[in-house]
Amino acid sequence: MIRSSLLAWHFLTIIPLCKASHVQPIPRELASSMQWYPVVGLIIGGILGAGDVLFNMVLTPDMTALLVLCVLVVLTGGLHQDGLADTIDGLGKRGSLSERLAVMKDGSIGALGATGLILALGLRFEGILHLPAPDRILLLLCMPVIGKWTMVVSTFGSSHGRPGGGLASDFFNEIRLRDVLWATVWAGVFLCATLGWQAGGLLLGLGVVVARGMVFMCSRVFGGITGDVLGAINEVTEILFLITAPMILMLVAF
């Protein structure tokens, strides 16, 4: 259990915690670590919340929001932003399935991917900047939780888009229903306890719809999904959370 959680932490962040978890894991261990993704998301959210409080003491709201965004990108190594840019480039490529996948695998970023990444970062910045003060810290805590959870939901039942597999193949091949259920328990309990069962339930439902909708669309375009698509799902879900969560909290308050 401890090794599984450490694997999740080291996969989703750049901060090393234990050398033992760097020993090459077997495929099932990698897939099993996904049940801890929402917990890792909660820790990331805690770091963002603490940073927001500290930055707000001495900086303007604009600079605080920008630095919180920088902390998020640095802490996760830009993993999901890279996936979003590659996915947008693949979706925008005209050509065969193999050509689309080749564009995604290419290390360079195209015009569409760069534009999409800039817009996504802009939306994140505005979303963080305009979070309502009473719920600001709670929403920063919850944002990475739901983003990481939707990656687990998207992996289960999906197949890899590349015929020869890829970095995420072990996750797709070895994930089990119990991994998804545990991840859902962590995410559900925390969101409902933090935001209330109505708001938490609505946001989880919205996350499922968005994530599985993206899985369906990308499976049609790429013949399956890849690790890049999972990163894109995390980005889209978290951005939509920043936009919709304040409105949903207002709605359920009436």
Give the pLDDT confidence of 66-102 residue by residue, as tens digits: 999 999 999 999 999 999 999 999 998 887 878 888 8
Percentage of the chain lying above the pLDDT 90 cut: 71
Answer for the pair 131, 69: CB distance below 8 angstroms, yes or no: no
Q: Which residue has the higher pLDDT, 2 or 118?
A: 118
Give the lowest-confidence range in 36-45, 143-152, 222-231: 222-231
Give the lowest-confidence range in 147-156, 170-179, 182-191: 170-179
pLDDT for the residue numbered 159: 84
Chain centroid to CA 23: how far? 25
pLDDT confidence of 106, banded at 50, 70, 90? confident
pLDDT above 90 (res 209): yes
Q: Please tell me the distance from the alpha carbon of residue 105 to that of residue 114, in angstroms, as a whole number.
A: 15
Tell me how far CA of residue 106 lies from CA of 83, 96, 103, 151, 225, in angstroms: 12, 16, 5, 22, 16
Q: What average pLDDT score do residues 175-195 get?
A: 96
Give the lowest-confidence range in 160-174, 183-197, 209-223: 160-174
pLDDT for the residue numbered 23: 59
Question: What residues contact 15, with CB distance under 8 A and at least 6 apart?
Answer: 9, 75
Q: What average pLDDT score do residues 120-126 get?
A: 97
Question: What residues contact 198, with CB distance under 8 A and at least 6 apart?
Answer: 252
pLDDT confidence of 29, banded at 50, 70, 90? confident
Domain span holding position 103: 2-253
- What's the pTM? 0.93
Domain count, the chain: 1
pLDDT for the residue numbered 243: 96
pLDDT for the residue numbered 2: 78
> How are the residues of the chain apportioned to helix, strand and coil, as percentages rounded to the nearest 5?
80, 0, 20
pLDDT for the residue numbered 24: 72
